[in-house]
Amino acid sequence: MTTNRTLRRSLAGALAVAMLSAMAACGSDPTSSASDSAAEEGPIKVGVALGLTGAAAATGSWARMGVELAAEQINADGGIDGRDVELVMADTELDPTKAVTAMNRLVGQENVDLVIGPLTSDESLATLPIMTQAGIANINGSGSAITPEVAPLGFALLPNAAAQGERMVEVAVEDYDAKRVAIVHYNGTQGKVASASMVDALKERDMEAVTVQEFTAQSTDLTPQLLEIQASDPDVILTFNQTGADTGRIITGLRQLNSDVPVIGSYGSTFATQTKGVAGPDAYGNLKAVTWAGFSACDEESIRPAVTDFVTAAEEKFGDEPAFETVALDYMAIWRDALYLLAAAVEETGTTEGEAVTEWLETEAADNEESLGLVHEGFAMSDTNHFLMDTGSLALVDPGTELAKGVFTRIDCED
């Protein structure tokens, strides 16, 4: 058999015609052998569309390592119903237009069965129609705007930007007693969605942001935005960044202005190696961040075994790669979990067909996460929520204090 989607469907059509002819001739029941005839063999091809070069090549490498580790582990455990996972990589260069070209190749030429990626909201929104039209289930790197209507066969693996924004406002008001809140965010779709969510969350509390500033991702000069923030005299600054380098530049700029205002960041602010590379080893003295709860703990004893095992496996496989020196392990792990989730759906349904895979992920995955070999916890996808996580999956952490590699200290621990 071949995994070529077009050929497979053509063969299925020819088989149906032949069976109908046989039924007309001898009255036999065509359904008795249909499932056997349609059985699939050979590897399951998974398209992996990531920004492997360009502005976010490091982040793309982290995602690539997560998917590669998952494929190796799944294949070592017997594959999916005895079929190996075959990864087909495509470089989007972090550009929505190039992402469309890459996705068309994966779907139209490589005939992949499943897709993981792209890396960002803008790329994902540009490519989702291709996967929907082809009937391919996918888990992408979007952090915003993913709904069952926009992505009927797709799920977003990043923490919902809107949920992060709500949680950040909650922390600022309830934990820091902030009355004056400033917002600064990068200019991608995810950053804009998060900013709008923060503004709305403040309005629900009869508050308004004292200023909202936007910057271009990877910008090296944030002086104009930070001067506006300083002039607004905030009690707390909420920052939603694409990378840890963005966080480092904000911290550096605030130091140059002699600002000691507390800063609360999004999950991207926990890309600690990047941040410290820009702002120094003491970068997190005044910053806390919202991130995946699965990579947070109150002490070393409470670190989850799944996380410890993952870190060990990741170090053994990728420890010699330059990209691993700066890796955000929680981010790498969610891409690893993406392939595990798709694999479980195919295993349980017996098919790679998009609607069946999607229905299983909506109705079964979150309730059975402990048995699926996942690293993260707190999955919450459903037929109304196509984000893998929700607000309950997030924790406030101190990225400056690692309890173990990649595991941060929670702020809400009892003394």
Whether pLDDT at 63 is above 80? yes
Do 56 and 94 touch, CB atoms closer than 8 A?
Answer: yes
- Dig out the tokens for 179 from the structure: 């009355």
Tell which residue, 327, 318, 364, has the closest CA to residue 345: 364
Do 248 and 279 touch, CB atoms closer than 8 A?
Answer: yes
Look at residue 84 in the predicted model and tell me its pLDDT: 97
The C-alpha atoms of residue 362 and residue 283 are separated, in whole angstroms, by 40
Look at residue 392 in the predicted model and tell me its pLDDT: 82
Task: Name the one residue in this structure whose structure tokens are 């923030």.
Answer: 229
Look at residue 413 in the predicted model and tell me its pLDDT: 87
Q: How confident is the model at residue 43 (pLDDT cuts 50, 70, 90)?
A: very high
Whether pLDDT at 7 is above 90? no
- Dig out the tokens for 23 from the structure: 């039924």
Q: How confident is the model at residue 236 (pLDDT cuts 50, 70, 90)?
A: very high
Look at residue 219 in the predicted model and tell me its pLDDT: 85
Q: How confident is the model at residue 391 (pLDDT cuts 50, 70, 90)?
A: confident
What pairing do the DSSP bridges indicate for beta strands 287-292 and 263-265? parallel
Whether pLDDT at 22 is above 90? no
Q: Whole-number mean pLDDT of the chain?
A: 89
Portion of the chain with pLDDT greater than 90, in percent: 80
Whether pLDDT at 60 is above 90? yes
- pLDDT tens string 277-302: 999 999 999 999 999 999 999 999 99
Residue 381: how many CB atoms within 10 A of its CB? 23
Burial (0-12, 13-18, 19+ Cβ within 10 Å), 380: middle
Q: What is the mean pLDDT of residues 342-368?
A: 97
Q: What is the mean pLDDT of residues 114-135?
A: 96
DSSP 90: E
| DSSP string for residues in 166-213 | HHHHHIIIIIS--SSEEEEEESSHHHHHHHHHHHHHHHTTT---SEEE
Q: How confident is the model at residue 415 (pLDDT cuts 50, 70, 90)?
A: low
Q: How far is CA 348 from the centre of its chain?
A: 23
- pLDDT tens string 130-172: 999 999 999 999 988 899 999 999 999 998 899 899 999 999 9
DSSP H or E run through 279:
helix 272-279
Look at residue 328 in the predicted model and tell me its pLDDT: 93
Q: What is the mean pLDDT of residues 366-383?
A: 95
Look at residue 56 in the predicted model and tell me its pLDDT: 79
Look at residue 40 in the predicted model and tell me its pLDDT: 63
Q: How confident is the model at residue 39 (pLDDT cuts 50, 70, 90)?
A: very low
For the entire predicted model, the pTM comes to 0.85
Burial (0-12, 13-18, 19+ Cβ within 10 Å), 97: exposed
Q: Where are the alpha helices (DSSP H) in 289-361?
A: 305-318, 329-349, 354-360
Residue 280: how many CB atoms within 10 A of its CB? 13
Q: What is the mean pLDDT of residues 44-56?
A: 93
Look at residue 103 in the predicted model and tell me its pLDDT: 98
Largest separation between any pair of C-alpha atoms in the chain: 89
Do 226 and 253 touch, CB atoms closer than 8 A?
Answer: yes
